[in-house]
Homo-oligomer: A and B are copies of this chain.
């Protein structure tokens, strides 16, 4: 079998990169010729974690088929969130914690999804099941992914499995979970010096809902005003990106990671679906979403539902 590339989704977050590194290493330990790569550069949060555990950022790729046909996906399955030539490749394995949609294969494959807070939680279990020892740096990057995805266990997506595995990984990684976690999250929120292009691309995913294409970007912050001081500039850019990429609707979720709330900014149509999904009335294109921190659990299903009625 030819080389296998292992990667997470476009606009990689810490789990997309960390899970790829960890699953790639596991496959190597099991005798496969696997390489972890990424579909984008690491965010500042991810870079903080990579630096802390002295790991190199994975090589960034934009297509696969000139290198190999065999891939393994982590932290995503929907083709529009994957590499550009995904439809031409053989997906040997998927490890994920998202809904399944816009995904299909011609052949049987290994697919492991669990409704937990983080893909790295599942991969850590697989190390145990396969009796493969977890190196300190790999434990560190998986721990970082869990902290990132669960916002230090505050997200409603967090499960007892995530907490248990994170504590086990913190012991192997030899870090104080709370201290390290808060430092890492804060490293990802230094946004005031960033362009609006950067903010809107940092952690953005596209979804097909009904016959609409919906773009949902999320940024974490410790100060919502850092984001909304630039609301006018953000709206211009969101409209421009929507026109260029045929998004019908563009949502920006700015999440206060200390207060565990979000402020929503919406550009495009139909706005009625957004208002119905969250039971809010948009004022100045914005709405406060108390307690909302998870795109996957508190935004996408509600919005999808409103388009399916």
Contacts and interface: CB of A to CB of B under 8 A. Distances in A.
Nearest to A98: B108
Interface string A90-111: 0000000111111111111111
A114 interface: yes
Contact of A100 (B100, B114, B129): B100
A300 to B, nearest CB: 8
Name A's interface SS: loop
A297 to B, nearest CB: 8
A63 to B, nearest CB: 19
A112 B94 CA distance: 10
A97 B108 CA distance: 6
A233 interface: no
Given A100-B104, A100-B109, A109-B113, 13 more contacts: A97-B108, A99-B105, A100-B103, A100-B105, A103-B103, A103-B104, A106-B301, A106-B308, A107-B301, A109-B115, A110-B113, A110-B115, A111-B111
Interface of A: 97-115, 129, 296-297, 301, 304-305, 308
